[in-house]
Amino acid sequence: MPSTMRKPFNYVETAAVQAAVKRARTGQAGQVGPDPALHSEDAELRWVEAVLRHRLSLHSFDRPVGIRAQNDDTHPLVANGRHFPAVALTIPFADRTLDFLATYNDRGRLTFDVIAPCAQCGKPVPTEEINSLEDLGDYLLQARDTLGGSPRLRTSPAHASACPARGN
Ligand SMILES: [Zn+2]
């Protein structure tokens, strides 16, 4: 299969697209309730993984969805931060992965961005905020008005050094 051909959606992607279409039609997103609580600081990676699993309703599938979580040494956990790394999360499928970056936004909320190649330099950068299954569906459909709108897109240190997409 040529690499330019879009592969069919897998089961998580299909559910995301269905959720996005439903939200667009009804104006209402599915209710997932509050995030799970962080019980112990040394389990932060597992907590971040649990929050992503919760926001994307991954428990609703009739099969387990694996997530790999590890420190991301390229991005800081908070804007302009130095001491704590962001968290990189990967959902592996048979033929591809969905990759996310977890950071805290300006209001201290844990926020997820989907990682995709920069349109300018091709490096993997935080591209769009994805905080629900509907958000993921919009991203997959390229339907969102704010596509390319993650605040981390311009500030990401993952861009090539001369990349024009990187702000200063
Ligand atoms: Zn770039």
Phi first, then psi: give them for residue 13, nearest 5 degrees. Answer: -65, -40
Q: What is the pLDDT of residues 137-152, one digit of tens each?
A: 999 998 666 565 899 9
Q: Where are the alpha helices (DSSP H) in the chain?
A: 11-26, 44-55, 133-141, 151-155
CB neighbours (10 Å) of residue 32? 15
Q: Does the structure show a pLDDT above 90 at 39?
A: no
CA distances from 35 to 31, 52, 86, 98, 122 (A): 12, 9, 18, 21, 33
Q: For residue 129, how far is its CA from the centre of ligand 1 (angstroms)?
A: 17
Question: Binning pLDDT at 50, 70 and 90, where does residue 58 land?
Answer: very high
For range 107-127, the mean pLDDT: 95
Partners of 78 in the β-ladder: 104
What average pLDDT score do residues 31-47 get? 83
- Tell me, in angstroms, the distance from the centre of ligand 1 to residue 98's CA: 19
User: From ligand 1's centre to the CA of 39, what distance in Å?
Assistant: 37
Q: Give residue 168's pLDDT.
A: 63
Per-residue pLDDT at 1: 44
Whether the pLDDT of residue 96 is over 80: the answer is: yes
